[in-house]
C-alpha cells in the first residue's frame, strides 16, 4: 500500500514516515501544498495524510482541487484546529476523516488501516478501462471476456496504467510507482516489461492501449491522435 504524507513540519513528517514504513507501507512525503497537490494529482496512492495548514497551498484547497480533478484517493486530514465548523467544511469538501494534533501514532495507524480497508471494500476493488478489467483482490485480469495470466510485476505495471489513464507517464514515474526498489535511470527494465505487457494486451485484439511518447515515456489511452 502506498501513502502520501503532506506535512510541512519535517520532524512530524519523518515520525509518520518512519512509523508507517515499519508497518510495511510505502511512504512518499511532500513538505508544502503545491508539492503535495502535484504528487497526489499525478501518482496513484491508497491514502493521503494531509496537514491542513501548509505553505503555498492549504489543505482545504488541495482537497477541493483534487476532487474537482476526480481524484478519489481517501484523504485523512491532520489539524490542530478541532472546531466543528472547520471539520465539517473539510468533510464537505471531500475529506474522509480528521485526526486532531497532537495524536498518538497508534491512532494514526488505526485510522490509516480503516480508511484503506473501507476504500478497498467499495468501488476500487476492480479497475476498468476500455474493455479491460483488473481485480485488485484476486489479481486476475480480463480483456473483454478473455482472462489473461500476468506475472506479479506485470500486474503492478498494469494497475499503475489503469489508475492513470490518458496521462503521459515518464519512465521514472512508472518505475517509482510500479517497482519496489530504487530505479536505475540507465536500465531498460521499464521498456522490457511494457513490451511483455503489450504482447499480452494485444494478443487477442488489435486495439492497442499502451502508446509510446517519443523522448518522454508512455500513455495508456484507447486511441492516440
Give residue 125's pLDDT: 66
Cα(7)–Cα(30) distance, integer angstroms:
6
Contact in structure between 49 and 6 (CB atoms under 8 Å): yes
Give residue 62's pLDDT: 93
Contacts of 86 (CB under 8 A, 6+ apart): 52, 79
Judged on CB neighbours under 10 Å (0-12, 13-18, 19+), 24 is exposed
Q: Are strands 47-51 and 2-6 parallel, antiparallel or unpaired?
A: parallel
Fold matches, 2-120 and 125-220? no
Short-list 30, 48, 180, 40, CA closest to 116: 48
Short-list 44, 11, 52, CA closest to 26: 44
Contacts of 89 (CB under 8 A, 6+ apart): 60
- Could you tell me the residue ranges of all domains in the chain? 2-120, 125-220
CATH 3.40.50.2300 corresponds to the domain 2-120? yes
Characterise 175 by phi-psi region: left (phi > 0), alpha (psi -120 to 50), beta (else): alpha
Judged on CB neighbours under 10 Å (0-12, 13-18, 19+), 19 is middle
Short-list 129, 108, 128, 127, CA closest to 119: 127
Class of domain 125-220: mainly alpha
Which residue has 504524507 as its cell numbers? 5
pLDDT digits (tens, 9 = 90+) for 64-118: 999 888 787 889 999 887 677 777 777 778 888 888 888 999 999 998 988 887 7
In the chain, which stretches have pLDDT less than 50?
A: none
Give residue 119's pLDDT: 67
Give residue 137's pLDDT: 58
Amino acid at each position: 500500500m502506498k501513502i502520501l504524507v503532506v506535512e510541512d513540519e519535517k520532524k512530524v513528517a519523518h515520525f509518520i514516515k518512519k512509523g508507517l514504513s515499519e508497518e510495511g507501507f510505502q511512504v512518499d512525503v511532500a513538505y508544502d501544498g503545491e508539492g503535495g497537490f502535484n504528487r497526489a494529482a499525478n501518482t496513484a496512492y491508497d491514502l493521503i495524510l494531509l496537514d491542513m495548514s501548509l505553505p503555498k497551498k492549504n489543505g482545504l484547497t488541495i482537497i477541493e482541487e483534487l476532487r474537482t480533478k476526480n481524484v478519489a484517493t481517501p484523504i485523512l486530514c491532520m489539524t490542530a484546529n478541532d472546531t466543528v465548523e472547520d471539520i465539517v467544511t473539510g468533510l464537505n469538501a471531500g475529506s474522509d476523516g480528521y485526526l486532531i494534533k497532537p495524536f498518538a501514532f497508534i491512532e494514526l495507524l488505526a485510522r490509516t488501516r480503516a480508511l484503506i480497508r473501507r476504500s478497498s471494500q467499495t468501488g476500487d476493488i476492480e479497475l476498468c478501462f476500455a474493455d479491460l478489467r483488473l481485480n485488485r483482490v484476486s489479481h486476475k485480469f480480463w480483456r473483454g471476456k478473455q482472462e489473461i495470466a500476468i506475472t506479479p510485476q506485470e500486474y503492478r505495471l498494469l494497475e499503475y496504467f489503469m489508475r492513470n489513464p490518458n496521462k503521459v507517464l515518464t519512465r521514472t514515474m512508472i518505475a517509482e510507482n510500479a517497482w519496489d526498489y530504487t530505479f536505475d535511470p540507465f536500465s531498460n527494465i521499464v521498456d522490457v516489461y511494457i513490451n511483455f505487457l503489450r504482447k499480452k494486451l494485444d494478443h487477442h485484439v488489435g486495439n492497442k492501449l499502451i502508446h509510446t511518447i517519443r523522448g518522454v515515456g508512455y500513455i495508456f489511452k484507447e486511441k492516440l491522435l
